[in-house]
Structure 1
């Protein structure tokens, strides 16, 4: 087994791994002392054997590897207008919840589906449809499973706050630093303070404000110094080094662990 010399982070650190690659990377996770956020893609979700998903969860727990899931999101619109699209979105999210339940994951991160180019001026319509969707989805979640939504295209947190306000202590928030860096019109503190009571997870990655590069911390322009001051005040959270490039994984873990220590 490869040995890695890295300081242990004060806050639990996870890395994102596609579902088909989880089992083959368990020894590596053990060596790196990281947990895993399991990404389940849209088409894969129908192919996952539920008994196998349960066994994967048991293997992770047997090795004391913390686990969360990332739900499918491509083409989905939980607060959409088209009834068929919303129906498919709900089915996909419910299936993802079922897998998370079987794996006994700590939580599952989902995309809320709001952007001003489609729903600007129709926020209430989006909210009403979203509340119906998440009301159904949350009924499928086992007690103890944290169901979270993350910021994607939001320029300010108003729609997230409205949605979360309908599900106090049932629906939670995951802050994504890279998406914030691309779309937010507010500074970090002004964005996070209103959401602090809903926060349970952070996706930590960087970019230069032009595309979703998923770089290690410090490789782009996100204000991580400001975020660190906020992180230090929060209890009971986990952080995910969310990296798209396999070659950057070790660097991403090192930089995230140094940042969180």
Structure 2
């Protein structure tokens, strides 16, 4: 039987973490274990949080030398919609996600 060894550098590995879970304490686990989050931005998170809320998490990551990626919202979106109302809502939600780039300085944004 062939044995395979996977070599992954920490700098290249990101673990899914919905933003709300990070706020509720999951950030402590990520810091304790040196994990880098792929921050999920689904649901109402983009409508219910202030920039200062996001900054707290971003600052904790930087203080602990952890990078992140952002996973832009994708449920319920149709950024190529023909219906102008659906198109507007979809683009607005993506715009809100992209505004967080300056706060988190992610290694990548996944769409």
TM-score band, normalised by shorter chain: 0.7 to 0.9
Report the structure number with the largest CA radius of gyration.
Answer: 1
> 1:83 and 2:88 equivalent?
no
Q: Which residue of 2 aligns with 1:17?
A: 17
**Equivalent pair of 1:100/1:107 in contact (CA under 8 Å):** no
Q: Which residue of 2 aligns with 1:106?
A: 107
Q: Which runs of 5 or more residues in structure 1 are unaligned?
A: 1-6, 111-261
**Equivalent pair of 2:36/2:67 in contact (CA under 8 Å):** yes
Q: Which residue of 2 aligns with 1:93?
A: 94
- Would the alpha carbon gap of residues 56 and 31 (structure 1) be closer, same or farther in structure 2, given more than 3 Å must change? closer
CA distance in 1, matches of 2:53, 2:44: 17
- Give the CA RMSD over aligned residues: 2.0
| Residue 8 of structure 1, CA deviation | 7.3
Q: What aligned pairs does 1:50-199 form with structure 2 within 5 A after superposition?
A: 50-110=51-111
**Equivalent pair of 2:31/2:61 in contact (CA under 8 Å):** no
Q: Kindly report structure 1 stretches of 4+ aligned residues shifted beyond 6 Å.
A: none
Q: Which runs of 5 or more residues in structure 2 are unaligned?
A: 1-5
SS in 2 for 1:77: coil
- Would the alpha carbon gap of residues 19 and 98 (structure 1) be closer, same or farther in structure 2, given more than 3 Å must change? same
SS in 2 for 1:22: helix
Q: Which residue of 2 aligns with 1:33?
A: 34
CA distance in 2, matches of 1:44, 1:30: 22
Count of residues paired in the alignment: 104
- Would the alpha carbon gap of residues 53 and 43 (structure 1) be closer, same or farther in structure 2, given more than 3 Å must change? same
TM-score (norm 2): 0.81
CA distance in 1, matches of 2:8, 2:72: 26
**Equivalent pair of 1:54/1:103 in contact (CA under 8 Å):** yes
CA distance in 1, matches of 2:27, 2:66: 8
